[in-house]
């Protein structure tokens, strides 16, 4: 299948939590790591999150650095990435910053009645918002269908940024090429705190492990990079 080279990036605590249960977003990384993620975003064509991340964080998913945005323009690309969201229900906030910022538009991947639900929501956006499409990606939505549609849109390099349900969907599909983990030097220790992944049938087991590409420190944050398949980086 022709699909984008897919990188999954996540920051988490030592005990594998990607947030705590408090009202404010837990900071799991540092400025050096944020700068590297910004560079990684600038090298990709699209960025993807789940509806849970959209509701919890209201992310913009932009390239922060003016220098990196200028470099993208000089390459004949949009300043920012195409944004993608996966939602089974199609219930999205049309006022979310993801839909109102950037210059490359967005795609909502959903299923069944969720297609019409999402379309009605997006119709309530201001006319000058960036364009947004709605795509039926299977029941339930699959990583394979999402990647095939992104490939049709000219996306050759995709960055997946969470949350736990989306991490699990993509990692169990066997369609992730590279995994980047930033590990904060502390524990969250809360049973109900969101996890990096949920239980699932992952292709990488003790008998078929991932290949470690890199392990290094960014201040007190540990960065680990793994190769999950045999595809060459694009």
Cis check: omega of the bond before 19, within 30 degrees of 0: no
pLDDT for the residue numbered 208: 96
Q: Is a pLDDT exceeding 90 seen at residue 157?
A: yes
For the chain, percent of residues with pLDDT exceeding 70: 99
Q: Is the pLDDT of residue 1 over 60?
A: no
Residue carrying structure tokens 């364009």: 131
**Residue pLDDT, tens place only, 94-144:** 999 999 999 999 999 999 999 999 999 999 999 999 999 999 999 999 999
Please determine, for residue 202, whether its predicted confidence score (pLDDT) is greater than 80.
Answer: yes
**For 145-157, b where at least 16 C-beta lie within 10 A, e where not — what string?**
bbbebbeeeebeb
Q: What angle do CA 51, 24, 32 make, to 5 degrees?
A: 90
Helices (H), 23-65: 31-42, 51-57
pLDDT of amino acid 91 = 96
Which run of H or E residues covers position 132?
Answer: strand 132-136
pLDDT at 234: 62
Beta strand spans in 44-81 (E): 46-50
| Phi, psi (degrees; rounded to nearest 5) at 108 | -105, 120
pLDDT bin (cut points 50, 70, 90) of residue 232 is: confident
In the predicted model, what is the mean pLDDT of residues 37-57?
A: 97
- Average pLDDT (72-86) is 98
CA-to-CA dists, residue 130 to 27, 111, 115, 116, 227, angstroms: 29, 23, 19, 19, 34
Indicate if the pLDDT at residue 67 is higher than 90: yes
pLDDT at 27 over 60: yes
pLDDT at res. 85: 98
Can you tell me the distance from the alpha carbon of 226 to that of 234, in angstroms, rounded to the nearest whole number?
15
Instruction: For strands 157-160 and 178-183, give the pairing.
Output: unpaired
* The pLDDT value given to residue 14: 98
Distance from C-alpha of 105 to C-alpha of 83, rounded to nearest angstrom: 6
């Amino acid at each position: 299948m022709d699909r984008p080279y897919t990188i999954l990036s996540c920051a988490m605590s030592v005990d594998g939590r990607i947030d705590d249960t408090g009202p404010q977003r837990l900071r799991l990384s540092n400025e050096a790591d944020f700068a590297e993620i910004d560079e990684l975003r600038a090298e990709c064509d699209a960025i993807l999150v789940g509806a849970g991340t959209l509701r919890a964080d209201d992310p913009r998913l932009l390239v922060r650095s003016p220098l990196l945005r200028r470099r993208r323009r000089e390459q004949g690309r949009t300043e920012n990435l195409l944004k993608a969201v996966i939602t089974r229900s199609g219930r999205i906030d049309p006022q979310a910053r993801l839909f109102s910022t950037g210059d490359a538009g967005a795609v909502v991947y959903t299923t069944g009645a969720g297609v019409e639900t999402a379309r009605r929501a997006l119709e309530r956006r201001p006319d000058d918002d960036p364009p947004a499409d709605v795509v039926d990606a299977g029941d339930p939505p699959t990583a394979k269908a999402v990647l095939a549609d992104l490939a049709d849109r000219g996306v050759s390099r995709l960055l997946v940024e969470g949350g736990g349900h989306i991490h699990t969907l993509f990692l169990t599909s066997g369609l992730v090429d590279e995994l980047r983990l930033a590990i904060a030097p502390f524990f969250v220790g809360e049973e109900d705190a969101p996890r990096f992944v949920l239980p699932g049938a992952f292709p990488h087991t003790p008998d078929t492990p991932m290949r470690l590409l890199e392990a290094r420190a960014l201040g007190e944050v540990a960065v680990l990079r793994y190769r999950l398949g045999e595809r060459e980086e694009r």
